[in-house]
Structure 1
């Protein structure tokens, strides 16, 4: 009788972020004996170009990270905008994915882009894209200070802001033409921070798209940085 394959958490970051944003949670998961792979999608690492990138490129990258390593028994986790590439990848990796987790994330609807989830938010995205020469959506320090890391020390605001990169614009304006992962027969959960004020819609609405109730955890939108034990514990409870 063979042993069950080892669980691997594949952690996909939100907009403007790289694999670094998941490192604190990944460290805790590894300390509990699990594998954890943190992903940076194209255009969000220093030295890479965002020009011409489409949402499908981010989806392809996540799929490639799993397939190239021949990973199975995968728990695929998306933070914030990362719900888009995670959803697209999950449909293509159904035979490898054990569970899909959305953490403070958008659960995409078929044909609806990130920019279309919220009218005011969408207008800001399109204005930002139009104002840049490379078609990106830059992040401002005030957005970090008053949204992503509201209430945290200024030193943390400046540190995180300095680590971010402009988001490829088509990542925000492209849509997925697939149903929800639960409609496709995959198991999924929604993990929601009690103080998250940065989502385009209430997290409870996104959870409802999966047909689930959210698992509540402490902290705001970026608690994966300052509450990694709580986020990792929530992920482990889903196994």
Structure 2
């Protein structure tokens, strides 16, 4: 099988590398993708959600991958949901890992409520590159509250401002539950970084959550367990 891993907001393909190594050791192929604008030196200014979706589709089609297990973390629920209808014939399974499952017409920012949406839209407008940064306190408090501070700071130093268009734009597609492709939802049991309760998000995908250990960054802190769940 071909496992294609999509990272969450502020992250690159590097965040999936520990899990991908274990998937490869089990005899599969694994690809860790970084979305446009999330490599150091990239500009996020004019990027739209469609750019992330198109990039994901191009990477799979240009490699002529089939039997694909498409795995998305956190914000990556948006591009994998958008890409799945255009990749159906190539997909073996769709896996959300502590990921947002988008509703038609609702952006990532809108999912956090009107006050948060208004605040972050003002942040995007004020930033010369139209990006959204992340401060260490927020990262440590919501995304990676577990583990030693030294490890958390190493992860934090890898983060890149998220293109504002990725967060402010909504999808106009049906959810993955209607595609006829198997879906799983892996939910980190101590996740405090989701915009809605994990069981509710899993239900949007038409499934019950499968619990795995760790918090929102469990792909880095518990790669053995996440890889085992993916391969199981």
> What TM-score results when the alignment is normalised by the length of structure 1?
0.94
Task: Give, in whole Å, the separation in 1 of the partners of 2:225 and 2:8.
Answer: 18
Say whether residues 1:51 and 2:13 are aligned partners. Answer: no
Task: Give, in whole Å, the separation in 1 of the partners of 2:25 and 2:159.
Answer: 27
Determine the structure 1 residue equivalent to 2:163. 168
Determine the structure 2 residue equivalent to 1:106. 100
Matches within 5 A, 1:63-142: 63-119=57-113, 120-142=115-137
Say whether residues 1:60 and 2:72 are aligned partners. Answer: no
Determine the structure 2 residue equivalent to 1:143. 138
Task: Give, in whole Å, the separation in 2 of the partners of 1:20 and 1:109.
Answer: 28
Instruction: Supply the RMSD in Å over aligned alpha carbons.
Output: 1.0
Question: Any unmatched runs of 5+ in structure 2?
Answer: none
- Among residues 16, 22, 29, which one is paired with 1:28 in the alignment? 22
What does the per-residue CA deviation read over 1:133-162, in whole Å, with 9 as the maximum and x for residues that have no partner?
Answer: 111010111122111110321111211111
Question: Any unmatched runs of 5+ in structure 1?
Answer: 1-6
CA contact (8 A) 1:137 1:167 kept: yes
CA contact (8 A) 2:146 2:215 kept: no
What does the per-residue CA deviation read over 1:98-140, in whole Å, with 9 as the maximum and x for residues that have no partner?
Answer: 1000000001111111011121542442232133111101011
What does the per-residue CA deviation read over 1:174-211, in whole Å, with 9 as the maximum and x for residues that have no partner?
Answer: 11111111112221110000000000001111001012
Distance change in 2, residues 1:121/1:225 (3 Å): farther
Task: Give, in whole Å, the separation in 2 of the partners of 1:121 and 1:85.
Answer: 22
What does the per-residue CA deviation read over 1:40-77, in whole Å, with 9 as the maximum and x for residues that have no partner?
Answer: 00000012211100000000000011000000000000
> What TM-score results when the alignment is normalised by the length of structure 2?
0.97
